[in-house]
Copies of this chain bind each other. A is one copy, B any other.
Amino acid sequence: MTPTGERVRRAALELFAERGFHGTGIRQLAEHAGLSSATLYHYMGTKEDLLVELMRASLERLVAAADDVLAHHAGATARLGALVRLHVTSHAERPLETRVVDDEVHALSPERRREVVALRDRYEGAWQQVIDQGLATGAFSVESAAVARRALLEMCSGVARWFDPAGPVALPDLADQYAVLALRLLGADARRVGGDTPPPV
């Protein structure tokens, strides 16, 4: 990716996140990137192509990281805690791209949407799998795994809307807090975040 191409993507990220895809014009994009609108088309396909690229990049990173979590942790509690930390950290550190992914799916044409939703489903599948595992082992206890998954994801994604790195809560702390909240929500013993082994008697 050329530096200019990177600038274009950065500008798109900022504007799509702030005003939405339909609320952002090509000319605003060009101005924000410091280019003419014609030059913009050297570095992108259509406006929708650009959106898809941003979403795909963000989701692919997330999917890979989730796979990594599964590869490096075994127990449901540890895995879930790691997933929460990953998700919260991602959304706090990259609020622009996560908001675009979370909020602009409706702007995609059906074909493109399918592609993006498939990626998102892969990512959420990891969560589902861990929750199912925890329920099977008795580590978690919730009525509906699907409801819990959705509740957890929405709750953690919200961080992208308000986290302020200059604010009172440091990001690692926040990620830990969310891990505790999540495990409580799942009916897990939050003290046993490190693994699924029983607590000392």
Contacts and interface: CB of A to CB of B under 8 A. Distances in A.
Interface in A1-53: 18-23
Nearest to A22: B22
Contacts of A180: 143
A107 to B, nearest CB: 6
A174 interface: yes
Interface in A143-201: 143-144, 147-148, 150-159, 161-162, 169, 173-174, 177-178, 180-181, 184-185, 187
A181 B148 contact: yes
A2 B23 CA distance: 31
Q: What copy number does this chain have within its complex?
A: 4
Contacts of A18: 106
Interface of A: 18-23, 103, 106-107, 142-144, 147-148, 150-159, 161-162, 169, 173-174, 177-178, 180-181, 184-185, 187
B150 A106 contact: no
A33 to B, nearest CB: 20
Contacts of A157: 154
A12 B154 CA distance: 25
A156 B148 CA distance: 11
A48 to B, nearest CB: 12
Contact of A158 (B19, B151, B162): B151
A161 to B, nearest CB: 8
A140 to B, nearest CB: 11
